[in-house]
């Protein structure tokens, strides 16, 4: 909040109001340090207030990073969304980006071994943090993403079974042929 948005004293509809306890505000015209701090200064936390959700602005939030991975045979593509996010927006992003990873994240050796597992593990950790948050009422006028179905209720997530089955067959064949 800026000082210009505050009502000025002695003007406007509440100008006849006399405060019983009128604490002195900061002297904006004089930047010299105050030797006599305000009596309520001890109650003000030195920690900055928590940031609101990057999507909808509400609190509480968690400072999580949500990832999606896409394997393109020889190259890999990463996508990330850095928080803070509230429980609703964060879980919506986790569901969307995890489903995208399960559908597109396996198509390449590097993606199969490193890319997709790292993205999925990262999203699982983010999901566990987000689930602990209390869900807040959205700020009027803000737009939240659609929460959507859970990941395992989305058919496209099961595309992951194709490369995973192939990987299990190949690894089993290698182990059996080596013995």
The answer to the question of residue 94 lying near Zn ion (CB under 5 A) is no
Q: Quick one: which segment of 3-11, 45-53, 72-80, 158-166 binds Zn ion (CB under 5 A)?
A: 45-53
Could you tell me the smallest distance in angstroms from the CB atom of residue 84 to Zn ion? Answer: 9
Q: Which residues contact 53 (CB under 8 A, 6 or more apart)?
A: 59, 61, 83, 84, 85, 86, 89, 90
The answer to the question of residue 119 lying near Zn ion (CB under 5 A) is no
Element spanning 107, H or E = none
The answer to the question of residue 55 lying near Zn ion (CB under 5 A) is yes
Which residue in 89, 94, 119, 151 binds Zn ion (CB under 5 A)? 89
Spatial separation of the C-alpha atoms in residues 59 and 125, rounded to whole Å:
20
Instruction: For the beta carbon of residue 157, count every other beta carbon within 10 angstroms.
Output: 19
Residue 57 class from Cβ within 10 Å (0-12 exposed, 13-18 middle, 19+ buried)? middle
Could you tell me the smallest distance in angstroms from the CB atom of residue 97 to Zn ion? Answer: 15
Q: Quick one: which segment of 36-44, 55-63, 94-102, 118-126 binds Zn ion (CB under 5 A)?
A: 55-63
The answer to the question of residue 62 lying near Zn ion (CB under 5 A) is no
The answer to the question of residue 53 lying near Zn ion (CB under 5 A) is yes
Could you tell me the smallest distance in angstroms from the CB atom of residue 53 to Zn ion? Answer: 3
The answer to whether 68 and 106 have CB atoms below 8 angstroms apart is no
The answer to whether 113 and 123 have CB atoms below 8 angstroms apart is no
> Which chain residues interact with Zn ion by CB under 5 A?
53, 55-56, 86, 89
């Amino acid at each position: 909040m800026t000082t210009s948005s505050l009502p000025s004293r002695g003007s406007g509809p509440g100008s006849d109001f006399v405060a019983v306890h009128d604490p002195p505000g900061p002297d904006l015209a004089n930047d010299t340090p105050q030797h006599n701090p305000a009596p309520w200064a001890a109650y003000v936390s030195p920690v900055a207030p928590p940031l609101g959700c990057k999507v909808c602005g509400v609190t509480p939030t968690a400072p999580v990073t949500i990832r999606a991975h896409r394997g393109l045979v020889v190259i890999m593509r990463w996508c990330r969304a850095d928080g803070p996010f509230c429980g609703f927006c964060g879980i919506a992003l986790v569901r969307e980006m995890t489903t995208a990873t399960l559908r597109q994240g396996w198509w390449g050796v590097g993606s199969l071994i490193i890319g997709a597992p790292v993205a999925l593990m990262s999203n699982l950790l983010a999901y566990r943090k987000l689930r602990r948050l209390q869900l807040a009422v959205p700020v009027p006028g803000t737009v939240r993403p659609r929460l959507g179905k859970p990941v395992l209720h989305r058919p496209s997530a099961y595309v992951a079974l194709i490369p995973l089955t192939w990987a299990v067959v190949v690894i089993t064949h290698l182990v059996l042929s080596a013995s």
